[in-house]
Structure 1
Amino acid sequence: MANFTGSRREKKKYVPKRKVCPFCVDRSRKIDYKEVDALRRFISDRGKMEPRHRTGVCAKHQRILSVTLKRARFLALLPYTSEHARSANVTSVPRKEPPQPA
């Protein structure tokens, strides 16, 4: 049978490993709105900012990151939502030809 201590089972609690802020570890790494590929790591597939507990960014750099993401969105480097990303990739838009003189 299972090991019982009194009337309760002994359970091991799951303690997740604390994530380390990538900007605190590498001091030379700056948060720049022009580095779109680096910023995509911090937004979800829906275009929303990922929370701190998921990315591991500290509070100080999360505030800087949110301003930087908003700036990149304003300059149309990043989409506001996933719908913007899909509509921006449309390359073939049917155009109306001007009427030909008869």
Structure 2
Amino acid sequence: MSAIVSPFRGRNQTFRKRKSPIGDSKVIDYLDPKFLQQFVNDQGRILPRRVTGLTAYQQRQVARAIKYARHLALMPFVAQDLK
């Protein structure tokens, strides 16, 4: 049996390059927990690249800064309001 293939499948797929949410000039610093909080979900887990839109290099920097801020007790390891 042959599968029915849509004639529109795979045509005219253009992908737009997304801008990084932090920009090129922003320095990722572990001493800024409000900035780092946008890369953490409600449960306190670090969001993946496909959600944040960061480059691989920026994602590594953000993850390292979040882990360092957690170690220095500037950010919580888990969410405060778990029910």
Pairwise TM-score range, normalised by the shorter structure: 0.7 to 0.9
Name the CA shift for 1:53/1:34 in 2 (closer, same or farther; >3 Å). same
Select the structure of larger CA radius of gyration: 1
Scaled by the length of structure 1, the TM-score of the pair is 0.61
Superposition deviation, residue 86 in structure 1: 3.1
Superposition deviation, residue 33 in structure 1: 1.1
The higher-RCO structure (CA 8 Å, 6+ apart) is 2
The CA deviation string for residues 32-73 of structure 1, in whole angstroms up to 9 with x for no partner, is 112111111100111000000110111111111111000111
Superposition deviation, residue 21 in structure 1: 2.2
Question: Partners of 2:21 and 2:81 in 1: how far apart?
Answer: 30
Name the CA shift for 1:20/1:10 in 2 (closer, same or farther; >3 Å). same
Specify the code of the residue in structure 1 equivalent to 2:60.
Answer: R
Q: Flag structure 1 segments of 5+ consecutive residues without an equivalent.
A: 1-6, 88-102
Are 2:24 and 1:26 equivalent residues in the alignment? Answer: yes
- CA RMSD, Structure 1 to Structure 2 (Å): 2.4
Scaled by the length of structure 2, the TM-score of the pair is 0.73
Q: Flag structure 2 segments of 5+ consecutive residues without an equivalent.
A: none
Question: Partners of 2:48 and 2:69 in 1: how far apart?
Answer: 18
> How many residues of Structure 1 are paired with residues of Structure 2 in the alignment?
77
**Runs of 4+ displaced beyond 2 Å:** 7-23
Counterpart in the other structure of 1:57: 54
